[in-house]
Amino acid sequence: MLAALTVVTVFLVVLWLAQRSLIYFPHGSPPSPAALGLPQAEIVTFDTEDGLHLEAWFVPAREPRQDRTIVVFNGNAGHRGHRAILGALFAEHGFSTLLLDYRGYGGNPGLPSEAGLERDARAAVAYLASRPDVNLARVVYFGESLGAAVAVGLAVDHPPAALILRSPFSTLAEIGQRHYPFLPVRWFLRDRYPSLERIGAIESPVLIIAGDADRIVPLDDSAALYDAARHPKHLVVIEGADHNDAELIFGPRVIRAVLDFLGEGPRQPQSGDG
């Protein structure tokens, strides 16, 4: 009995110490923007509150509409190069885009954590405020999965013109417990991203896009976040889409939902509007 208890205790201690390696999956430096079809993109840098020097890409709109800029907050894996298509599509439709990489991602220094990603998000908005070609009052946050939680946290104290959340979860603890029901996730999780507690304080218009075949963040969890959000809000469900399907990342229905939400296209009936 004592030996078994010791093994379990050691296992939980190791898991507690290594848990961030099970949450964050950063990739190294991306190819050049031009190599990914973004020859117009600027490689930009800015500093965080704790002294890290981060690199990102600013993709100017081809024909700017109403001075709008979209900040893309990535999920927990990859780097900004994986969202080059998204930046190109937004540029075609008149939106400038900041493709951000967090600390530890895309060749940036540092190690990711909830507090660290929150600092990175604030630094990104401060950088945009310094650009004469960006109207900060018209900046839109576009968060994907984990990045949706980063965007929600940022929006509480730095409200955007609009908040778009793709495949968002209610809390990281809830998703972790679903995927690891045999572990005390809710008890020992260090980075919690409590979006469900935060979203009710956000007065910006909210669009939530989710797939009804998502095996990472089930639709009912994204819907719980939608229910907790204030009006005006919209929920768009992409039928048959899983978490990492191209259709849910930058597919035409996602782009149309964004354009409709931001008033740049004819309004179509959407699931869950209200």
The answer to whether residue 117 sits within a structural domain is yes
The answer to whether residue 22 sits within a structural domain is no
The answer to whether residue 3 sits within a structural domain is no
The answer to whether residue 12 sits within a structural domain is no
The answer to whether residue 1 sits within a structural domain is no
The answer to whether residue 126 sits within a structural domain is yes
The answer to whether residue 11 sits within a structural domain is no
Extract the tokens encoding 261: 């939400």
pLDDT along the chain (274 residues), means of 10: 64 62 92 97 98 98 82 96 96 96 98 98 98 95 98 98 98 89 80 97 98 97 98 97 96 97 59 44
Residue 81 domain boundaries:
33-261
Q: What is the pTM of this model?
A: 0.91
Q: What is the CATH number of the domain that holds 241?
A: 3.40.50.1820
The answer to whether residue 225 sits within a structural domain is yes
Q: How far apart are the first and last CA of the chain?
A: 56
Domain tally, the chain: 1
Provide, for the chain, the percentages of residues in helix, strand and coil under a 3-state DSSP scheme, each rounded to the nearest 5.
Answer: 40, 20, 40
DSSP code string of 163-220: EEEES--S-HHHHHHHH-TTS-HHHH-S----HHHHGGG--S-EEEEEETT-SSS-HH
